[in-house]
Amino acid sequence: MKRRKLKPYVLPTLMILAITSIIFGTAMISNTLKEDKPEETPSSYVTNTILEEEEPVINETKTMINPYTDTSVTIGKSYYDYKADAATQEKSIIYHDNTYMQNSGTDFISENVFDVVAVLDGSVTDVKEDETLGKVVEIKHDNGYISIYQSLSEVTVKKGDMITQGQVIGKSGTNELDKDMGNHLHFELYVNGQVVDPTLYLNKEVQTSENKE
């Protein structure tokens, strides 16, 4: 068999055709990739900014109830009010052991022994028996409220107990300080460490808790 020789102009022509095909193919692939590529969306960045979620401060209120449930209970001696008239102040004086004292609470009386209840939710911070005041229970509530129950004949709670509003904590009784009053409850209320007139808060809405940040 005879080998055929390519003419001198044939080889350069083939090379040109090959190069042209490669360039054309590359261009077609490039255009296809550009068409298929999704459009870029601009990115947004937060710089030097810290976003903090803040909880709104919510003040919760609750009605402070009477420290008793017996409807026969009445006020025997009121809180001593420095702004009251002389006649009213005179009725709020306690006389004991040849000494006159201003009443620092409200005395609730009844002929019959009655249940004494917590005026708000709280925790018992003290339970004691005093020779002059009788059995005493102290309860700490939210937002600086402290209620004190004196002249109890019985106590049904102990220090550290968590108390719910209206829970029976004891029974009324007598003591040496207010012996002439007979069966009664001496009730005191403190707000942020300051003794106040309980009747200004009983059966009224008081701020009991606060959600802080």
CATH code that applies to domain 59-210: 2.70.70.10
Beta bridge partners of 100: 95
pLDDT at 212 over 60: no
pLDDT of residue 55: 54
Rg (CA), the chain: 44
Q: Are 143 and 210 within 8 A, CB to CB?
A: yes
Tokens of 16: 């040109």
Q: What's 88's DSSP letter?
A: H
Give tens-digit pLDDT for 81-137.
999 999 889 989 998 888 999 999 999 999 999 999 999 999 999 999 999 999 999
Give tens-digit pLDDT for 145-192.
999 999 999 999 999 999 999 999 999 999 999 888 999 999 999 999
* CA atoms of 62 and 201, how far apart (whole Å): 11
Domain locations along the chain? 59-210
Q: How many CB atoms lie within 10 A of CB 201?
A: 18
Q: How many CB atoms lie within 10 A of CB 113?
A: 14
Q: How confident is the model at residue 28 (pLDDT cuts 50, 70, 90)?
A: low
Q: How confident is the model at residue 51 (pLDDT cuts 50, 70, 90)?
A: very low
